[in-house]
Structure 1
Amino acid sequence: MDTSWIDLRKGDTRYYNGCMEFLEVAKETLLKGKTRCPCNKCKLNKWFDLGEVGGHILFNGFYKNYRQWIFHRRVEESNTLEIPNDQENVVGRDDMNGLLRAAFKVDNSPQPTNEPQDPSLSEANFEDEYSYDMHEELNFECEEDDEYPSTNTNEEEAKYKRLREASDEGLYEGCTTFSKLSFLLHLFHLKCMFHWSAASFNKLLELLLDAFPYIKEFPSSYYEGMKIMNDLGLGYEKIHACPNDCMLYWGEFAGKSECHICHRSRWKNVKEKEGESSVKDKGTCKKGVPAKVMRYFPLIPRLKRLYMSSKTAEDMRWHFDRKDGNIISHPADGEAWKMFDKRYEEFAKDPRSVRLGLASDGFNPYRLMNTSYSTWPVILIPYNLPPWLCMKSTSFILSVLIPGKQGPGMDIDVYLQPLIHELKLLWEGVDAFDAYSGKNFKMRAALHSTINDFPAYAMLSGWSTRGYKACPSCVDSTHSYSFGGKIVYPGCRKWLPVDHPYRSQTNEFDGTEEHGLAPVRVSGTEVLKQQEKVKYVYGKSKVVQKKRGRLEDDELDDNDDDNDDNDQDESDRVLWKEK
C-alpha cells in the first residue's frame, strides 16, 4: 500500500485523499467504536472515535514512523487486533503508561499485540523504521544522537516495574475506570488543589478503605502514598543552613557541624535529653535536629522532563518557529533576547536551548495571623513556552524555598548556590532526550531575566535601592533630595525626547524646567569592574543595631554613603553592596 502521501504537507489534496483511505481501512478494526489515533501528537497512545481521529490526522499531521498500519488493518479474519480489557478505559482515560514512559525515558514506540502476525509486520521491522527522521523540516544545527539507549539504573528499572504494575492493576476487581496508580494521583491532585492537610488525607484514606473493603492493597496513609509517588521522581533536597544565613552545609561544607563564619552550631538548641549532644552556650545542641533547613528542587531533571514528554516537547520550541509580525507578545520579541542570540549564536541556533526567568518575593505562610514571618520562594519560568502556557502556574518551576523567620536580605546568594551550580552545568550542556524528534541532544539553558519588586531587586542584584542613589539606571546621576523627611526622585524628564513638551512644563512637575540629557547606561563589563571593589561578608551576625532602631554602621546605612559625597573620592566610592 502506497503511504508516500504521509510526507506531503497537510493542505495537499493527495494528503487529504490518503487520510480518507486510512479511515476506510481503520473502520474494519474498530473496538467499541474506537481506534488508536496515529496523529503526530497522540502517536498511537490514545483511543478516539473514528471521526475525531480523522480530525487529528488532518490538522496535526500523520505520525511518519507509522507506515505499516499494523493496528488498523485486518491481517486475517481470525487475527483481529484486540486490546486487553483493563486498557480499554483505564489507559485511554488517564494515559498512565504514557506518563511512566516519559518519566523513566522508556521507548515510546507502540507495542504490538500478542497475536501471531506476518513476519513482515513483526516488532523488529516496525522498530527499524525509527531511522527515519520524522521532523525533517526542523533543519537546525545541534549535536544529536539517532540512537536512544536506555540509561536507567537498576534502581530506576525497579521503580518503573513497580509503577507499571500499579498502573496495570485495577483499583478493585472488575474496575475499568481507575487503576491503583491513577486513583492515587487523582487524590494527591485534589489534596494540592484544596490544600488538604496530611492528617485530613489520612482520615480520607481510612474512610475509603472502610467503606470499600474490596479495594485491594491501597495505601492507608499519606506517608505510604508518598512512597509510591516519590518513585515518579522530581523530588527535592533538604539542605541545612546556618541560622544567620552565613553558609549552606552543602558541597565541601556538607560535613561541618558549625558555621565557619559565625561559629554557630548547625543543630538546634533543645532541652537536655538522652543521646548524643554537645553543650553550647546555655542550651544543649542536639545533633540530628538542624537549626535551619532549605528545600532545593533540582532544575536539570525538571527541564529534561519537559522534553521527555511528548505533550510539552513541541511547545518548548514554539519561540523559534513563530512569526512575531512586529508585535511584542513574548520575551523573544525583546532586544535583550535578540542581542543574546547575536552574541551566543551556537546557543541560539538550537531552538531547544532553554531561556529562564527568575522571580522571588517573600510571603507570610501563616496568612492573616498576627505573625511576623517571611518565607522566600524562588520560581523559574521557562520562556520557551508560548505566552498562554509559560505564565500558567502549572508551568512554573519551584527552585528554592528559603525558610524564615526573617527574610534572607542580601544573603539570598547563599541559598542560590545549588541553583547557580546547575545553571553552570546547563550552560555547558547536559544529555537529554527530545520526545518530539525522537533523538538525544545536548540541552543548554541560560538565565534571561529576573522579575521582582524594587526591594527584592536590591537583594538579587546587589544594588541598594535605598538612599540618594537608588536608581539603577541613573546610578551616580540620580537626581534626589530630602523633602518632608522622605527622599524624593525628580529629574525623570531627562529620559524623554529632547523636544518633548513635558521638559519645559513647570507647574505640572517640581517647578523647574529640565533640559538635560539622559545618562549613558553602564555596560556589564563596567559593572563587573565596579563590583571588584566590593567586600561583603555573608551572614547576619555582623549587624549592629542601636536601641533607637537606626543602623549606624557605614556599611549598612545607605544614606551615609550618599550624604558624604565630599568626604570620599568619587573613583573609590562603591555603590554596590555585594557581588
Structure 2
Amino acid sequence: MADRSWMQLHRGHPRYMRGIFEFIEFARGKTSPGQLFHICPCGKCRNRSANSVTFEDMYVHLSQYGICPNFTTWIWHGEASEHMPTFVDIQAQRNQGESSSSANFGDPGVMNFLNDAFPSASAYDGSVSQDNSNTTFPDVSQMSIKKKRNKTVACFNDDIALLKELLPADNDCPKNYDKVKSILSEFGLEYIKIDACVNNCILYYKGYKAAFECPHCYEPRLGLATDGFNPTGDMNNSYSIWHVIAFPLNLPPNMCMRTEYNFLTVLVPGKYSKTYFFMRAAVLFTVNDFPTYGMISGQTTHGYKECPICIDEVNSSHHAHRVVYLGSRRWLPPDHPWWYDAQVFDGTVEHGPKPEGRSGQWILDMLNQHWFGILSSTRYVNDQNPPTPEEFKYWTHMSSFFELPYWLTLKIRHNLDVMHIEKNVCDNILETILDIKDKTKDTAKAHADLQKMGIRRNLWIKLNKKTGKHVMPQPQVGYTVVPNKRSEIFKWLREVKYPSGYAGNIARCIKMGENKIIGLKTHDCHVVDT
C-alpha cells in the first residue's frame, strides 16, 4: 500500500474503513500458517505484544480506537524495515492527509471524538454538499465558547437553535444545552472542583491545597476538593472516590430521599491501593424490621412483653388465639372524647396514664443487675444459662451497642422500617375489606372473641337450629365489600392506569377468577394506600 494517508483520517471516514480492511488483508498474507494472535496497532493496544488479538478483533479495535498515526511502516506485520520513511516522508504524508481532509469539519482527533458520540454518522464521506442530509455533526466548539465567554444557558440554547435551523432537516445536532452536556458526559471527561473560602478570599489551590482554614479571615474549610469522581469505575481508569451519604430516615418518606436532605459525610479520594486510614463514625440509630429490632436491641419482641417502648407498662391480653395490645387510647390527649367511648372500643373506659417510656440509663441500670448468660441458638447452651427473673423478661440479652459511651444518652436508638409496616398494613386492610379467603382478619375466632368480651352483639356467631352448627353473621361487618361488588373492585384495580414510572404493574397481581391479590411490592402498597 503506497498511499497511507487514510491513517490520518477520522475513524468514520470511508477511506479509513477501506484502509484498515486492506491493512488486515496485507497482514494476513504475511502471517505464517497456524498463527491465531497478532500484535494490534490500534490506539489502545499500541503494538504491545501483551495485547495480541485475532484479525477479527483487530478490525473491531481499529474501528473503535483508530490506528497509531505514526505506524506508517508495518514492521510488526511483515513489512521490511528498510522501507522506514524519513522525517520528510512522514511530514509529506501528514500534509497530504491534511489537504485531503480539508473539506472535513476539523482535526481527525475531533472527528474521532464526534464519531464516538454519533455512530450513525460513520457513513459520512467528508464532502459538504447541498444534498447531503444523512447527518450533521454538532458544533461542539460552542461548549468551549460558552465557557470562555461566560455565556448563559439561555444564550447557548438560542445559538444552538439557530445552528440547528441552518443545518439540513434530518440533522442530529442536539437541540439544547442539556442534550449536549449529556452527550459529552458519556465520554468520562474529568473535571476538578476547587474549594474556596466562604468569604471568597482565596482558592484552596497550589500552596493552599492542604490548608484547613483561610490565612486571611481564618474561616475553616467547609468542603473537600474532588478530582475525577468515579465511584463505580465506569470510566476505565484507576482513579476513584469513595463517598458516604447519610439519609435522615426519620423524616416522612416523601422528604427523606430528596437531594436537600442528603448529607455527604465521608469523601475519600485516591487511586485504588491498600492504604489504611482511621475512620471515625458514630451510630446515631438503627433502621430495621421488628424481629431485627429485638435481635440488635436485646429487647423481647414477641409475647405479652413485646412493646419495647412501654416495657413494664405494656397493656397486653389474649384474644382470638393471639396476643393483642390494647390501651392505645392512653397516647391520646387527656381531653380526647375516645377516652370515654367504651362502645366503639373494647367496652371499657380508658383511665390509664400514658407510658412514661424508659431512658437508656434506666435500661442499662436494669440490665447490669442480671447476667443473661451466653446468647446462642443452640438449645443445649441456652439450657445452661441462668433462669431469667420475671422483672427481666422484657429483654433477652444486653445489646452490644451499650458499649458505645454515648448510646444510653440517645433519645431514639432504634427505628422501624416504614417499608415493612406499610406493606403489612396494606395487605391486612385489602384482605379484610375484600374478604379474601384464608387471608382476612375477620374470622370466626374474632367473632367468638367479641362474644367472650360481651361487646357488639350483632356480630356474635349464631347457632343454626336446623344443622346445629355455628355460622358467621351476615353481613359480617360494615367495612367488608359485599360479594356481588368484589369483582368490580378487582376489575377496577386491574384496569386502572398510572403515570409512567409512578407504580409497578399492579394488574399482574390481580387474580380475577380467584378474587385474590398476590405479590404486591412495597411501592405498590404505598400507591394503593395513598
TM-score by length of 2: 0.31
Which of 1 and 2 has greater Rg?
2
TM-score by length of 1: 0.29
